[in-house]
Amino acid sequence: MGEVSNCIPNNLLPYIDQVALDKLPKLAVLGGDYPIHDGTGVRDYIHEVDLAEGHLRALEVLQTRTGNHVWNLGTGQGYSVLEMLNASWAGKPSALWIK
C-alpha cells in the first residue's frame, strides 16, 4: 500500500514493483535448488489489510479471554518466487526482468 523506497528492497513484492517501474534493472532470482517444481523459495502471502483485520480480531478476543493464544494469519497456500513473478508480469518475456 504505497510503499516508497529509494533502497533495494528486502522483500519480493516491493522488488517486483521497483523493476516494473524501471527503478531497478532486473530482479535476481536466487536459489533454484529448493525441492519444488521450479526450484525457487515458497512463501505464504497475505494482504496487509487482511493482516490488520486479523490483528483487530485477535485484540477483540483478548478482551474476553485470558491466557496465551496462537493464531495463524496466513492463507495456507504457498507460492514460489517464479509463480509470483509470472503472475505479476504475465505476458512479458522473462529475459526483460529476471537475471
Write out pLDDT tens, residues 17-64.
Answer: 888 888 888 888 888 888 999 899 999 999 889 999 999 999 999 999
In which domain, by residue range, is 29 found?
A: 12-96
3-class SS shares of the chain: helix, strand, coil, % to 5: 35, 10, 55
* Cα separation, 99 vs 97, whole angstroms: 7
**Which residue type, as a one-letter code, is found at position 10?**
N
pTM of the predicted protein model: 0.71
pLDDT band at 93 (very low <50, low <70, confident <90, very high): low
Reading phi first (left if > 0) and then psi (alpha if -120 to 50, else beta), residue 50 is in: alpha
Q: Is residue 88 part of a domain?
A: yes
Domain total in the chain = 1
Integer-rounded Cα radius of gyration of the chain: 17
Cell of 9: 528492497
**Which residue type, as a one-letter code, is found at position 83?**
E
Q: Is residue 4 part of a domain?
A: no
